[in-house]
Amino acid sequence: MVLNYYNLRDQPFGVTPDPRYLYSSASHREALASLTYGIRSRRGFMSLIAKPGMGKTTILFQLLSQLEGSARTVFLFQTLCSPKELLRDLLRDLGIADAAGDTGHMQEQLNRVLTAEARQGRRVVVVIDEAQNLEDSALELLRMLSNFETTSYKLMQIILAGQPQLREKLISPGLLQLRQRMSIFARLHPFNVEDTRLYIQHRLRVAGYDFKTPLFTPQAAALIAKYSEGIPRNINNICFNALSLGCVLKQKSIREEVVRECLADMEFEVEAVSDQDSDRADSKVVSFSSREIAPSRSPLEWLRWVFLCMITLVLCATRSGLGSEKSGPQQMHGISESSQMDVNQFTLGRQKAVPLQPLAGAAGEIEPNMKLSLAMPVKEAPASAQVVSSTSSQRSHFDAGVGVEQTNDPAKLWIQVKSGSSDAEIELANLYLEGVAVPRNCAQAQVLLQAASRKGNTHAVSLLGDSASECP
């Protein structure tokens, strides 16, 4: 049912070591090439060591298929045996069914077979899988069998394949002579994320999948790579269960949640929450309180600090301009309508900026609890926060040309700022907020702090002082 649903010829994630499904990662190619070279060079003893499930048996079958017709091959996998039983099994695979007698007699029979094969120009290759289970006495017997040789080459070549415990045995002092005869030590390493993706695609391709749609989404494949630890057997088990569950759920493309459910059923310790922190961070509202500015050295925090300085400087300049125009006691303190419009148009990251709260309190003091939120999704300001438009006689301090030389050169504007021109400060702030210019160093940032001090805005000085303290 699963194969028909996904249009597959056979099961791509089976449990048998089929050489057709062998995926040649870098370490698999290297191991196969090393063993092939060792056999052609008649090196005698060789070993292949890897963790369980890494595909050792598949590589051995691939190697034996390449030797078909040019060598007499024996494959032994029953290694929980005595030395005599091991020798008897070897003779049976070589065609001596009535192998009996003591060890010496069976060794004589083996020598006759090896000599006959050598006269016909064929090698004899013996592969012993799960060799970590062999007793030291059985390994010593194999060492003695390697003494069957001519003056030019070995009559029999032996490959020991096993788990990392085999390596521990070979380096033990009691097997020193056997280790000295080992000419090749091949190893297999787990897949990385890219190899895991290519491994899954390779097996699906061999099974006949057409890839009109990805069978596993990128998120699902990444999850498989993470929890399989790059071990092919684990990958096969996870993918097999995911295909079965996907078929039941009628999913033509296996999604991440299906893989998670399979991992939970297989008793993997899976994280409860998907890795989506980066996506959430893009939409999270980040507000800066006038009394809570978290110190940070990251570039993003530095840019936020610069924009906070700019907006505070605009508020200082606006307050100064409103204070210089003497109005009647009935006039309300506020930002001009054109100023409010200009402030609202400042953008960061192509998102609408939060409208600035109106100045409140005596002499236009800023509310101490006011927060400035930069470049975040905003809601409509409450009616109490609407800016009271000034009379038409009040000119916006964002209008360029009030005591400022008509220039967009930040360098010239900095000269005017240093000479005490509040209009130049506003014009330069506009350039910063529009992205035309940015402070090039802490010295320029300090000028903003000094400008705010000259305006007598102690609240702005406190804001700038906390952030500017990070400058050396």
Q: Sketch the domain layout of the chain as residue ranges.
A: 2-12+192-265, 26-187, 287-322+332-468
CA distances from 179 to 90, 174, 409 (A): 22, 10, 77
Whether 229 and 188 have beta carbons less than 8 Å apart is answered as: no
Minimum mean pLDDT among 189-198, 204-213, 280-289, 333-342: which range? 280-289
> Which residues does 259 contact at the CB level (< 8 Å), separation at least 6?
216, 220, 223, 224, 238, 242
Q: What is the pLDDT of residue 103?
A: 86
pLDDT confidence bin for 129, thresholds 50/70/90: very high
Over residues 148-152, mean pLDDT: 84
Say if residue 104's pLDDT is above 60. yes
Say if residue 189's pLDDT is above 60. yes
> Which long-range contacts link 80-89 to residues 24+ away (Cβ below 8 Å)?
80/133, 81/138, 82/135, 82/137, 82/138, 83/135, 83/137, 83/138, 83/140, 83/141, 86/134, 86/138, 86/141, 86/142, 87/141, 87/145
Whether 2 and 243 have beta carbons less than 8 Å apart is answered as: yes
Helices 442-454 and 458-468 cross at an angle (nearest 10°) of: 160
Over residues 282-295, mean pLDDT: 34
The single residue listed with the structure tokens 């400058």 is 471
Q: What is the pLDDT of residue 403?
A: 46
Say if residue 383's pLDDT is above 80. no
pLDDT in tens, 421-458: 667 666 666 665 555 555 656 666 666 666 656 656 55
Q: What is the pLDDT of residue 437?
A: 58
Q: What is the pLDDT of residue 404?
A: 47
Helices 83-93 and 136-145 cross at an angle (nearest 10°) of: 50
Say if residue 146's pLDDT is above 60. yes
- Torsion-angle region of 326 (φ positive above 0: left; ψ -120 to 50: alpha; else: beta): beta
pLDDT in tens, 396-426: 333 333 444 566 777 777 777 777 666 766 6
Q: What is the pLDDT of residue 439?
A: 60
Q: What is the pLDDT of residue 160?
A: 96
Per the prediction, the chain carries an average pLDDT of 74
Q: What is the pLDDT of residue 228?
A: 95
For residue 371, give both structure tokens: 């927060």
Q: Note the CATH architecture for domain 26-187.
A: 3-Layer(aba) Sandwich (3.40)
Q: What is the pLDDT of residue 21?
A: 93
Buried b (16+ CB within 10 A) or exposed e, 324-343: eeeeeeeeebbbbebbbebb
Q: 265 or 98: whose pLDDT is higher?
A: 265
Q: What is the pLDDT of residue 355?
A: 40
Question: Angle 343-345-349 (CA atoms, 0-180°, nearest 5)?
Answer: 115
Over residues 44-55, mean pLDDT: 94
The neighbouring-strand residues paired with 123 are 71
Q: What is the pLDDT of residue 96?
A: 86
Question: 3-state SS of the chain?
Answer: CHHHHCCCCCCCCCCCCCHHHCCCCHHHHHHHHHHHHHHHCCCCEEEEECCCCCCHHHHHHHHHHHHECCEEEEEECCCCCCHHHHHHHHHHHCCCCCCCCCHHHHHHHHHHHHHHHHHCCCEEEEEECCHHHCCHHHHHHHHHHCCCECCCCECCEEEEEECHHHHHHHCCHHHHHHHHHEEEEEECCCCCHHHHHHHHHHHHHHCCCCCCCCCECHHHHHHHHHHHCCCHHHHHHHHHHHHHHHHHCCCCCECHHHHHHHHHHCCCCCCCCCCCHHHHHHHCCCEEECCECCCCCCHHHHHHHHHHHHHHHHHHHHHHHHHHCCCCCCCCCCCCHHHHHHHHCCEECCEECCCCCCCCCHHHCCCCCCEEECCCCCCCCCHHHCCCCCCCCCCCCCCCCCCCCCCCCHHHHHHHHHCCCHHHHHHHHHHHHCCCCCCCCHHHHHHHHHHHHHCCCHHHHHHHHHHHCCCC
Q: Percentage of residues in the chain with pLDDT exceeding 70?
A: 61
Q: What is the pLDDT of residue 284?
A: 32
Over residues 119-148, mean pLDDT: 93
Over residues 22-31, mean pLDDT: 93
What is d(CA 28, CA 187) in angstroms, rounded to the nearest whole number? Answer: 8
pLDDT confidence bin for 289, thresholds 50/70/90: very low
Q: 453 or 217: whose pLDDT is higher?
A: 217
Say if residue 114's pLDDT is above 90. yes
Q: What is the pLDDT of residue 79?
A: 92
Say if residue 281's pLDDT is above 70. no
Over residues 101-110, mean pLDDT: 87
Minimum mean pLDDT among 182-196, 358-372, 428-442: which range? 358-372
pLDDT in tens, 231-256: 999 999 999 999 999 999 999 999 99
What is d(CA 342, CA 338) in angstroms, rounded to the nearest whole number? Answer: 6
Over residues 33-47, mean pLDDT: 92
Whether 455 and 314 have beta carbons less than 8 Å apart is answered as: no
pLDDT confidence bin for 299, thresholds 50/70/90: low
Say if residue 192's pLDDT is above 80. yes
Q: What is the pLDDT of residue 434?
A: 57
What is d(CA 165, CA 183) in angstroms, rounded to the nearest whole number? Answer: 19
Q: 438 or 78: whose pLDDT is higher?
A: 78
Q: What is the pLDDT of residue 81?
A: 92
pLDDT confidence bin for 70, thresholds 50/70/90: confident
CATH 3.40.640.10 is right for the domain spanning 2-12+192-265: no
